Amino acid sequence: MEAIKYYSTNLKAPAVSFKKALLKGQAPDKGLYMPDCFPVLEKSTMDAFSKMRYPEVAFVVLHAFLKHEVPADILRLLVNDAYDYSVPLEHVCDRKYVMRLDQGPTASFKDFAARMMGRLMNHFLMKEKRDLLILTATSGDTGSAIANAFYGLDNIRVLILFPEKEVTVRQRKQMTTLGKNVEVIAVDGKFDDCQAMVKRAFADPDLATLNLSSANSINIGRLLPQAVYYFFAWSQLRKNTDEQAIFLVPSGNFGDMMGGMIAREMGLPVRQMGIAVNENDEFPVFLNTGEYQKIEPSKNCISSAMNVGHPSNLSRLVALYGGVMDEKGRIEKIPDMIAMRKDMVAFSITDAETRQCIADAWHAHRLLLEPHGAVGWAGLQKYLAMNEGMDKDQLFVVLETAHPAKFPEQIQEILKFDPDLPPSLQGLEDKEEKYGFLKHQYEDFKKHLTGMR
Ligand SMILES: *Cc1c(COP(=O)(O)O)cnc(C)c1O
């Protein structure tokens, strides 16, 4: 078999290698890169996953995509380095489980994708003796995820701008106590000012030699690693190799759920994917009616990382079902809606339902959920209500995407206690912080960047 190529979902740019798609991020026609075919794993291969640790499963799944581009021994080192934390599968009742994707350095499922993308980028850059400067503006969480994902990599430097008065002390400390290749700057302005300076730097021809990159969430290098935990959960929980699982995924930009759809294309026995969104219900409406209308501006819900009125990965899902959706959300070719409705169901969960679900899960099962995972668990309750008489033996896995300790206000309000911090978030208070200051003036920022070499 030849190397897999990556085409643009807008179909107006040439297909490229994995390396090129990874280092470019977005295609020149503003589409997203998608593999032009999916490697299908042998049953015996998937069978063997049940005895493997997470990094070993990650190796097999990623090697299937990357075998022509990343040597096996190197890929092994990268997955071992990226996945040095546990992936708990918590039994709740019957054959219903919660997969906790919150044991990474920033206690968010985004660690799975960002850490692997960073290591793959570093590998290609090292080979070419090139450096990259990742430039990012953050209002809190993205910055720490990026900082931790790229921390300690030799050929990548990270520069993060944050609005001095708009991030919490804990969010700031998660970025400013790292050091090494991570530089952090406080800006006396708002998030939008930081974002505007970063955008201007990307477009500035004087800075072209700096090799700037944004490492943003639509990168194919973030998508593929998200297929791995679906294989892992299934392999740990299945009774036999033909058993089909149903996953419930709390979703915002749909990167997480696309990981599951990719796993399914690779042969994972998935009976259905359940997509749970908050009050931003553009996708459930689309799935039911075939009409797509983005929500502008998006609604503010307590599951704040899912306040998305137009999921950027939706064009990838549409492509998977033979359609074309451009970056603005216009449907140029309608996907096979009948097949899509067979493979997936979608639920919109209100904030009131989310709060109720956090309370119910705790009181009925001593299951501790934060607002995002609660949207997923509430989705499961709706699924069961819609499918009365469903076999008690059906395997369900709900994804919990962040650690409850990241949302102490909501947990305190609903359950009247403070969740314990996971080890990765402990001890921040005692660490030394280091960061610079800038006024929100582009010329100052540019001077700083040119002085960095
Ligand atoms: C980003 C995020 C999500 C949404 O994931 P998508 O891939 O954008 O659908 C859900 N929960 C948490 C905690 C997140 O940070």
Q: Whole-number mean pLDDT of the chain?
A: 95
Best CA proximity match to 380, nearest among 88, 47, 50, 98 = 98
Please name the helix (run of DSSP H) or strand (run of DSSP E) that holds residue 176, with its range, or none: helix 169-176
Q: How far is ligand 1, taken at its centre, from the CA of residue 44, in Å?
A: 32
Render pLDDT for 289-312 as a digit per residue (tens, 0 to 9): 999 999 999 999 999 989 999 999
Strand arrangement, sheet containing 436-438: 212-213, 132-137, 156-163, 182-187, 436-438
Best probe residue, ligand 1, of 253, 257, 280, 315 (max atoms within 8 Å of C-beta): 253
pLDDT at 140 over 80: no
pLDDT at 141: 77
In eight-state DSSP terms, residue 312 is T
Give the number of the atom of ligand 1 that is nearest the alpha carbon of residue 249. 9
pTM metric for this prediction: 0.94
Rounded-to-integer distance, Cα 48 and Cα 267, Å: 14
pLDDT at 352 over 70: yes
pLDDT at 355 over 70: yes
User: Looking at residues 362-386, what average pLDDT do you find?
Assistant: 98
Q: How far is ligand 1, taken at its centre, from the CA of residue 426, in Å?
A: 23
Give the number of the atom of ligand 1 that is nearest the alpha carbon of residue 226. 7
User: Looking at residues 374-383, what average pLDDT do you find?
Assistant: 98
Q: How far is ligand 1, taken at its centre, from the CA of residue 204, in Å?
A: 31
Q: Whose CA is nearest to atom 15 of ligand 1?
A: 305
Reported confidence tier of residue 217, pLDDT bands at 50, 70, 90: confident
Give the number of the atom of ligand 1 that is nearest the alpha carbon of residue 251. 9
pLDDT at 340 over 70: yes
Domain around 233: 88-108+223-415
Render pLDDT for 420-452 as a digit per residue (tens, 0 to 9): 999 888 988 889 999 999 998 999 999 999 988
Rounded-to-integer distance, Cα 329 and Cα 141, Å: 26
User: Looking at residues 61-79, what average pLDDT do you find?
Assistant: 98
Q: Whose CA is nearest to atom 14 of ligand 1?
A: 305
pLDDT at 300: 93
Question: Does residue 307 lie in a domain region?
Answer: yes
pLDDT at 213: 86
Question: Does residue 297 lie in a domain region?
Answer: yes
Reported confidence tier of residue 453, pLDDT bands at 50, 70, 90: low
pLDDT at 179: 95
Q: How far is ligand 1, taken at its centre, from the CA of residue 182, in Å?
A: 24
Range in 221-235, 241-255, 403-417, 439-453 with the lowest mean pLDDT: 439-453
Give the number of the atom of ligand 1 that is nearest the alpha carbon of residue 256. 7
pLDDT at 282: 97
pLDDT at 78 over 80: yes
Best CA proximity match to 211, nearest among 116, 152, 129 = 129
Ligand 1 neighbour 406 (Cβ under 6 A): no
pLDDT at 182 over 80: yes
Ligand 1 neighbour 402 (Cβ under 6 A): yes
CATH number for the domain that contains residue 348: 3.40.50.1100
Give the number of the atom of ligand 1 that is nearest the alpha carbon of residue 141. 15
Question: Does residue 175 lie in a domain region?
Answer: no
pLDDT at 283: 98
Question: Does residue 76 lie in a domain region?
Answer: no
Ligand 1 neighbour 400 (Cβ under 6 A): no
User: Looking at residues 131-143, what average pLDDT do you find?
Assistant: 87
Could you tell me if 191 and 165 are in contact, meaning their C-beta atoms sit under 8 angstroms apart? no
Question: Does residue 206 lie in a domain region?
Answer: no
pLDDT at 1 over 70: no
Q: How far is ligand 1, taken at its centre, from the CA of residue 206, in Å?
A: 35
Q: Whose CA is nearest to atom 11 of ligand 1?
A: 401
The domain total for the chain is 1
User: Looking at residues 344-349, what average pLDDT do you find?
Assistant: 98
Instruction: For residue 247, give Cα distances in angstroms to 38, 39, 208, 365, 411.
Output: 20, 21, 44, 19, 25
Rounded-to-integer distance, Cα 277 and Cα 295, Å: 13
Question: Does residue 263 lie in a domain region?
Answer: yes
Question: Does residue 280 lie in a domain region?
Answer: yes
Q: How far is ligand 1, taken at its centre, from the CA of residue 34, in Å?
A: 20
Reported confidence tier of residue 171, pLDDT bands at 50, 70, 90: confident
Q: How far is ligand 1, taken at its centre, from the CA of residue 359, in Å?
A: 21
Render pLDDT for 91-118 as a digit per residue (tens, 0 to 9): 999 999 999 999 999 999 999 999 999 9
Q: How far is ligand 1, taken at its centre, from the CA of residue 363, in Å?
A: 25
Q: How far is ligand 1, taken at its centre, from the CA of residue 307, in Å?
A: 9
Reported confidence tier of residue 330, pLDDT bands at 50, 70, 90: very high
Could you tell me if 345 and 271 are in contact, meaning their C-beta atoms sit under 8 angstroms apart? no
Q: How far is ligand 1, taken at its centre, from the CA of residue 2, in Å?
A: 33
User: Looking at residues 48-52, what average pLDDT do you find?
Assistant: 97
Best probe residue, ligand 1, of 142, 275, 303, 372 (max atoms within 8 Å of C-beta): 372
Q: Which residue has the higher pLDDT, 71 or 451?
A: 71
Question: Does residue 428 lie in a domain region?
Answer: no
DSSP alpha helix (H) spans, 321-387: 337-343, 351-365, 371-386
Render pLDDT for 394-420 as a digit per residue (tens, 0 to 9): 999 999 999 999 999 999 999 999 999
Q: How far is ligand 1, taken at its centre, from the CA of residue 256, in Å?
A: 7
Ligand 1 neighbour 306 (Cβ under 6 A): yes
